Structure 1
Amino acid sequence: MTDRGPLHAVSPLDGRYARYTEPLTEYASEAALMRARVHVEVEYLLALADLDATPLELDEATRSALRGLYTDFDTDDADVIKGLETEGHAGYTATNHDVKAVEYFVRLHLPDEESQGPWVHFGLTSEDVNNLAHRLLLKPAVDEVLVPTIRDLRDDLAADAREYRTLPMLARTHGQPATPTTYGKELAVYAARLGRALGRLDAANDELSGKLAGASGTYAAHRAAYPGVDWRAFSRAFVESLGLEHVPLSTQVNPCDDLAAVFDALRGVNNVLRDLDLDVWLYVSDRYLGQEAVEGETGSSTMPHKVNPIDFENSEGNLTKANSDLTFLADYVTTSRLQRDLSDSTVKRNVGAALAHCLIGYEKTANGLSKVTPNETVMREELQANPEVIGEAVQTILRREGDTDAYERIKALTRGQRATLEDFRDLFDDLDVDESVREELHALTPAGYTGYGDELVDEL
């Protein structure tokens, strides 16, 4: 079989879920990494040309053409670089080295390759290029793909929280009936948590940092060639020109603590959404939420009636997989034997897969939320069926009135057994309290016992 499309992909990310992960291809593919490396090499070459100490001169037309190598980078360019690496191309033998192939690719586009070519990758080690390229991909992948999706989710949750702010609902602590809440307040909790997690992600992504200091982080080759140039200042200016913070102290490897912070922040986002998935799944199971039946869909291959909460289950699985990958990445990329070992190189190629599982999870949660609707009738029936939840209010009011046995009195009535509103009213009628307090107790209902639930939504 020679026609191999997405259905023949080894990974479901590029197969079954390709329609969800496609927005990340610009930042997570092999071609994207090639483009980012070309970006670094070209801008570094231009920065060298701007130094008075170097004889390199590049006119405006050449500069524009060189920048076009990465701004207009396409599949043909990626094929050329891959050819330089694996087969050889245009007089160059196969490099068997991906960064060297990029260097030769840039050289091929110089007006005078013989005199200008030696300045491409001048004084650099591959990690100088790679650490910057990876961050030039991760930063926009987070900013332009993941963050907008997360923000839309948070905004949808906030909108639903406001819509259902007064809808009373039985809460369950330890899975058991507990003090009532409102459906809107519960959604507001998740919206607020997601907003805070998003803030941590934004902050971590803004602090991505790069190094450009040579084979051992000492600028040795640069200083040997031009001892009169302040290469530390040059490095700082160059890295910051790429929109990254500068790392002044490194080995050959950028320590990658900044990457770990982004991965950890993403895990925080995912933990909030996974918690939401689990709760909504349970609300569906308890029939607090109804699901829209999509015409033509099959819920079960044998049970025609089924409408399953598959979006939340799919999200849960993908977010769990993403967090496993992100934990591994955060732990792994921050270590390197002595000044450099290459094990992190292949590991970093999996960053895109972790982001893809995140994106699938976000999309699935959003899809699921768009198809659920609160079942107010069921929620109110559940409240009426569990009047014992007003016991907290009763014993608290009686404590206020000086009843030292208030808690024990309500415990005896309700713990481990079902109590009706009539049972409570009989108790109220037997209490030695002022009539106004008795009226206050008689007015208590599960549906009305929601505290500031509706107002707390305004904390968003």
Structure 2
Amino acid sequence: MPESVSDASVASTGRVRLADANIPLGPLDGRYRAAVADLSDHLSEAALNRNRIHVEIEWFIHLADHQVLPGLSPLTDEQRAGLRAIVTDFGPAEVTELAEIEAVTVHDVKAVEYFIGNRLEGLGLGALKPLVHFACTSEDINNLSYAVGIRDAVQQVWLPAARKAVGAIAAAARAAADTPMLSRTHGQPATPSTLGKELAVFVHRLNRQLARVESQQYLGKINGATGTYAAHTVAAPDADWPEVARTFVEHLGLTFNPLTTQIESHDWQGELYADIARFNTILHGYCVDVWSYISIGYFAQIPVAGATGSSTMPHKVNPIRFENAEANLELSTALLNSLGATLVESRWQRDLTDSTSQRNIGVALGHSALALSNVTKGMGQLQVAAGVLAEDLNTNWEVLGEAIQTVMRAEALNGVPGMDNPYERLKELTRGHRVDAERMREFVGSLGLSEAAEQRLLALTPDTYTGLAARLAHEHADG
């Protein structure tokens, strides 16, 4: 649609153009900004540019200090400090300045090169201006800048938030380790457990994924336009360029990738996103289970003063924290899986699909971080309804059928007569029937068990038939 037609259409509505008010398009930069703001310091466009400046400055210092070219000498401490201040002082005014340069260059990395070059004269380094971006292709700077930003976002923001959420689940698991609970397999009453043991299962699973994320390597390269150090070796044939590159990448706190095309292969990103996506999926399952426990009354939600549960039904306290988390985990996982699939492929030596995709890493992690915040808050608003759990157990005595038929098998192996067809006999007693305590004990008394076995079964109740659940919960509530 031509611009004039579009403007006329908007004008004809009589409404103010909200687009003119710089209003965020997405919720992460709008209503949920507070929950994800810390990621902006690492994965926003401004943070990417700051990281590009950081990489360019460190490369400049590295080349000078290693004297890779004739006539170069190590920089003074004052010069290094002045160069690094370009990074630490990068703020709103510098963001605007860089944007103005890019508007002319129409190239983001070239704009960074000019931005730095404009400051060298003031540091007494004007003669070294050609050393900025020396022998680099844009991807040399970009891959390292993204690696630094993603590493810091994961280690400083996402992982602490994930540990906090898992810690909240672990605290609930410890508190409910001894609380008996009717299990449900295929949605039907099954062998009892404890509420804490069921929560601890998720703690254990989630912590395994966190250990994988914590051990992730963040790879980087700086080897030129097609990964051959071609320009490097022509300009400075005596330098050991792979060693210069390795020491530089490791100086940035990254793992050196020694063999690439123009781009770093991004395999490490695929690995990382798969692990975080798997963590998301496990946590999504947890949210679904907790939502279901709330729906059957196992958890009561602690009302928040002044908050509205339902706009029309005042008795309700909706489980919005867990529902919000579910949706954001789904969005995050979809984006992470897409990124992981896209980024590990590149046509021949280079294409730009990764450039567009990587700009959404912050969005992918942002939806996960938002979910983590909601899970942590949601866990703080839950209260175990022990009475509901006890009542549920007491109306399902048929779950002891497993215990009785298993004891009958053991008795048969010990030579006790009359223990034939234990499964079938319990099936006849319990399937499709409600069996109360009196009927179950009457049945046990009629079996002719050994005295010890009979007494064990007569003493058994649904709330004591939890095996080692409490012990397992206590042992594994922290992963």
Q: TM-score, normalised by structure 2?
A: 0.92
For the aligned residue pairs, the C-alpha RMSD in angstroms reads 1.6
How far, CA to CA, are the matches of 1:346 and 1:193 in structure 2? Answer: 33
1:31-63 CA-to-partner distances (Å, cap 9, x unmatched) read: 100100000000000011113342244433222
In the alignment, does 2:224 pair up with 1:208? no
How far, CA to CA, are the matches of 2:308 and 2:340 in structure 1? Answer: 40
Code of the aligned partner of 2:466 = T
Matches within 5 A, 1:58-457: 58-86=75-103, 94-111=104-121, 115-204=127-216, 207-402=217-412, 403-457=419-473
What is the percentage of aligned positions where both structures have the same residue?
43
1:272-317 CA-to-partner distances (Å, cap 9, x unmatched) read: 2111100000000000000011111111111111100010000000
Instruction: Answer whether contact 2:177 2:474 (CA < 8 A) is retained.
Output: no
Code of the aligned partner of 1:359 = A
SS at match of 2:27: coil
Instruction: Answer whether contact 1:171 1:181 (CA < 8 A) is retained.
Output: yes
How far, CA to CA, are the matches of 2:398 and 2:39 in structure 1? Answer: 52
Bigger mean CA deviation after superposition, 157-166 or 322-331: 157-166
- Counterpart in the other structure of 2:13: none
In the alignment, does 2:22 pair up with 1:10? no
SS at match of 1:373: strand
* TM-aligned CA distance change 1:438 to 1:114, over 3 Å: closer
SS at match of 1:109: helix
Code of the aligned partner of 1:18 = R
How far, CA to CA, are the matches of 1:196 and 1:357 in structure 2? Answer: 21
Instruction: Answer whether contact 1:41 1:120 (CA < 8 A) is retained.
Output: yes
* TM-aligned CA distance change 1:56 to 1:377, over 3 Å: same
Cα drift, residue 327 of structure 1: 0.2
Cα drift, residue 114 of structure 1: 5.2
How far, CA to CA, are the matches of 1:227 and 1:311 in structure 2? Answer: 61
**Higher RCO (CA < 8 A, seq sep 6+):** 2
Bigger mean CA deviation after superposition, 231-240 or 434-443: 434-443
How far, CA to CA, are the matches of 1:448 and 1:195 in structure 2? Answer: 29
- Counterpart in the other structure of 2:5: none
Instruction: Answer whether contact 1:169 1:379 (CA < 8 A) is retained.
Output: yes
How far, CA to CA, are the matches of 2:80 and 2:339 in structure 1? Answer: 37
- Counterpart in the other structure of 1:91: none
Cα drift, residue 459 of structure 1: 2.8
* TM-aligned CA distance change 1:5 to 1:428, over 3 Å: farther
How far, CA to CA, are the matches of 1:317 and 1:396 in structure 2? Answer: 43
Cα drift, residue 8 of structure 1: 2.2
SS at match of 2:309: coil
How far, CA to CA, are the matches of 1:7 and 1:308 in structure 2? Answer: 33
1:234-258 CA-to-partner distances (Å, cap 9, x unmatched) read: 0000000000010110000000000
1:394-433 CA-to-partner distances (Å, cap 9, x unmatched) read: 1111111112311111000111221222221221222122
The gaps in structure 2 that reach 5 residues or longer are 1-15, 413-418
How far, CA to CA, are the matches of 2:100 and 2:323 in structure 1? Answer: 43
SS at match of 1:227: coil
How far, CA to CA, are the matches of 2:372 and 2:312 in structure 1? Answer: 29
Code of the aligned partner of 1:13 = L
Code of the aligned partner of 2:362 = G
How far, CA to CA, are the matches of 1:126 and 1:225 in structure 2? Answer: 18
Instruction: Answer whether contact 1:169 1:183 (CA < 8 A) is retained.
Output: yes
Code of the aligned partner of 1:335 = E
Instruction: Answer whether contact 1:162 1:184 (CA < 8 A) is retained.
Output: yes
* TM-aligned CA distance change 1:53 to 1:309, over 3 Å: closer
Count of aligned pairs: 451
* TM-aligned CA distance change 1:173 to 1:83, over 3 Å: same
SS at match of 1:172: strand
Instruction: Answer whether contact 1:210 1:254 (CA < 8 A) is retained.
Output: yes
How far, CA to CA, are the matches of 2:185 and 2:352 in structure 1? Answer: 49
SS at match of 1:401: helix
Instruction: Answer whether contact 1:198 1:269 (CA < 8 A) is retained.
Output: yes
How far, CA to CA, are the matches of 1:248 and 1:434 in structure 2? Answer: 72
How far, CA to CA, are the matches of 1:456 and 1:214 in structure 2? Answer: 54
Code of the aligned partner of 2:472 = L
Cα drift, residue 4 of structure 1: 7.8
